Amino acid sequence: MTFKPRITNTEQRITKRSMATALKNLSEYNQNKFTDISQKTFGIVVAEWHDDITSVLCQGAVDTLLKHGAKKENIYINTVPGSFELTLGAQFLALQEEIDAVICIGVVIKGDTKHDDYINNAVANGLTNVALKFNKPVSFGLVTTNTLEQALERAGGKHGNKGVEAAAAAIGMLSF
């Protein structure tokens, strides 16, 4: 006799909410608990590699911050050569007392080697460590895809804009 667990309605709702990006628009988020960010200062670190995509992601982040009350003069944008350097760029910004949250924007597209595994893992771990070290929100706006087409779909295409998601995550954490 095989035991088959029963899935409750709650579990079904959780499963539907946590589906892959391929089934979700990154620009949709819950703003109900957002705090007033008019006096908050944001640092954005943008990778220059794939700048045709990262510039769109960055604009999505900036537009989201402005939409929710951030002042343009309180948004600082800095660039780094590639996604691997996002971690150190985030740390440089987090060191600044006046920066309340850091938003990191980059793109890593899978190629013929395993470089994407190493970079994605290093950036994820590095940004987590920066957030914990400085006790500040550091959001992960790294697009990690198999193809250029998938990256474009996450930069204002059919899946929304990962920059919007990263900014919303930063605001959400400031509201925590």
What CA–CA distance (Å, rounded) separates 63 from 21? Answer: 21
Q: What Cα–Cα distance (Å) separates residue 73 from each residue in 48, 69, 76, 77, 78? A: 22, 12, 8, 11, 14
What CA–CA distance (Å, rounded) separates 62 from 75? Answer: 8
Whether 123 and 66 have beta carbons less than 8 Å apart is answered as no
**Residue 8 in tokens:** 């409750």
**Residue 153 in tokens:** 């779909």
Closest C-alpha among 93, 59, 67, 64 to residue 78: 93
Tally Cβ neighbours within 10 Å of residue 147.
10
Q: Which of 50, 68, 115, 159 is catalytic?
A: 115
Unique residue bearing structure tokens 């895809």: 145
115 is catalytic: yes
- Would you please indicate which residues are annotated as catalytic (active-site) residues? 115
